[in-house]
A and B are shown apart, each in its own frame.
Chain A
Amino acid sequence: MSGIRATRRRRQSVLRWVVVTVSMVFFAAPLAGMLDFTTKDAQGRRTAATWAKLVDVEGISRDYPDLAAGFTASVGLAVLTVVVMLVLLVPTMTWVRLRVPGLSRTVEFLCLLPLTVPAIVLVVGLTPVYSWVTYFLGESTIWLGFAYVILVLPYAYRSIDVGLRAIDVKTLSEAARSLGAGWGRVMVRVVLPNLRTAVLSAAFLAVALTLGEFTIANLFSRTNLQVAMFLLGKSDAQISVAVGLAALVFAFIVLFGLSFVGGRSHSRKENS
């Protein structure tokens, strides 16, 4: 029996390395293409000039104002999206669980609805809504965050729902209430800390989605990071490809780092 298992394990590891290697070559080829493209000068010699330009923050904001503006806008959008998403979802979902469980199906349906409404469709329908937003709040790119909250709703809902399932909200909030805490304090000091992991992963998803969002911003002619990159691609391809590669690498490092932070709780018992 152990002989069979050893053979199987050997076969599995051969298969694993073959499949993973082939896939990695496929995944790496275009990324290598980006690196190659950004380190070539007009004569085809190697140069790090593009990357030197990218690292020079002052130079970037002077020579590529759109890129700097897009980056700032995207960071602002990420913050706004995360804040609105959390303020909207965490209290509502907790409240529904505690006081109006009859509405839980409705809330779930509404939160998952954006899965069937692609961003490109949302843009079409949001046009009149955003003419009102522009009327009341002005034309700043940052208000796109309201639409981004809708885009992250399904993912945020799922991760917060998992978090809420894992804790006994009812007992926790009753305990806090009986000790004299108001609802606000219950949310901030009791529920939120207990949902740490869920909130973190929801926030990370929101940030990733916001930084990668192109459709809505482009069609509303607002400049966020992706739109700036896209527009720059027409005039100065090298720097925009460099920004694209830097964004991908940055996102990878963040995800890879996060996998070490939250990984423990995910490992299942049956694997031991």
Chain B
Amino acid sequence: MADTARRGALAGRRPSGALLGVVPFFVYVTVFLIVPTLVVVVGAFIATGPGGQGALSLANIRALAQPAVTSALWHSLILSAVTAVAGAVIGALLAYAVSTAKPDGVLRRFTTSLCGVLAQFGGVALAFAFLATFGATGYLTNVLASTGLDDTGGLWLYEWNKGLMLVYLYFQIPLMLIVFLPAVEGLRPQWREAAETLGGSTWLYWRKVAAPILFPSFVGALLLLFTNAFSAYATAAALVSQGSPLLPLAIGGTLNSEVILGQENVGKAMALLMVVVVAAVMTLYAAIDRRASRWLAR
């Protein structure tokens, strides 16, 4: 009896007391995540020009149509798409190759650790690595020059559609391995044995069993790679010192000194544009990921 009474008392106290426990988290997230997001979203629609100071306006959004922004966006989209597709294909092949090795073997540990570092830790160091290799004094620059492939002395490295693509691939392939390896590992040997027992060839197994199971994971990983490249800033900033060929660099530029008077909030509009693209891709990713997890118990 006393027990029930006490439980009743606890239940009565629950709402206020229990909610108090999550207050610190919500306050923190509000200050450092929600407020910044709102600053971007609201700021994108507030004019800073001499005409309408502080008024609601679409001027910043219209400013996105200027050629500098559209070309930055276009470059970013192309760069992200190409490196995502190439990275996904090569990375998936590498993931499959690694998955056929012993699960606790040194090869597997070595590759996953290396890829972990290259995918997540790179940034400035990766830019340096490529400068040291293909830059003016890099050891492969001479090799390329002597074979006639490169007569610019390593200048191609700084171009968004040549050098940056190569550098981005250098962290996209490792990321693909990390994201896709669990999916490949989820392919059970029994499925292959079943296909063989029923007389299926290797080709048939891949086409009818493995590919349909892996496809959602593959597309999901590809989308993840796309957003990864689309929002990357460090490597490009360390490599490109002039101009803003990519959207993240253009946004960074508006925070530094290159702001034209009255256009302070164009940076916010660009940031909003970026969020919209990333959010659209991530929503697609979430839907595909649900589909993928049907076969792969994680």
Contacts and interface: CB of A to CB of B under 8 A. Distances in A.
Contacts of A118: 227, 230-231, 233, 248, 274-275, 278
Interface string B80-98: 0000000000100110111
Contacts of A15: 97, 100
A149 interface: yes
Interface stretch (A60-68, A72-80, A252-260): A252-260
B37 interface: yes
Nearest to A243: B125
A208 B29 contact: no
Interface in B9-49: 14, 18-19, 21-22, 24-26, 28-29, 31-33, 35-40, 43
Interface stretch (B56-64, B67-75, B101-109, B212-220): B101-109
Nearest to B125: A244
Contacts of B18: 95, 99-100
A271 interface: yes
Contact of B32 (A12, A129, A208): A129
Contact of A259 (B24, B109, B131): B109
Contacts of B26: 110
B113 interface: yes
B146 to A, nearest CB: 16
Contacts of B118: 27, 248
A122 interface: yes
Nearest to A11: B202
Nearest to A29: B133
A33 to B, nearest CB: 3
B267 A124 contact: yes
B287 interface: no
Which DSSP category, helix, strand, loop or mixed, fits chain B's interface? helix
A37 B123 CA distance: 18
B111 interface: yes
A23 B87 CA distance: 12
A226 B101 CA distance: 35
A38 B121 CA distance: 20
A92 B22 contact: yes
Interface string A160-194: 00000000000000000000000000000000000
Nearest to A227: B124
A96 interface: yes
A16 B124 CA distance: 31
Given A99-B14, A129-B32, A226-B234, A212 B121 contact: yes
B282 A116 contact: yes
Interface string A13-32: 10110111001001101111
Contacts of B294: none
B129 A30 contact: yes
A124 B238 contact: no
Contacts of B137: 37
B121 A219 contact: no
A59 interface: no
Nearest to A252: B117
Interface string A188-214: 000000000000000000001101111
A247 B128 CA distance: 12
B295 interface: no
Contacts of A271: 103
B255 A267 contact: no
B274 A121 contact: yes
Contact of A128 (B22, B39, B256, B274): B39
Given A125-B35, A229-B124, A244-B125, A30 B274 contact: no
10 contacts: A16-B97, A120-B233, A120-B274, A122-B36, A149-B28, A213-B123, A215-B252, A219-B255, A226-B123, A270-B189
9 interchain residue pairs of minimum CB distance? A125-B36, A33-B133, A118-B231, A244-B125, A30-B129, A37-B132, A214-B234, A19-B97, A99-B18
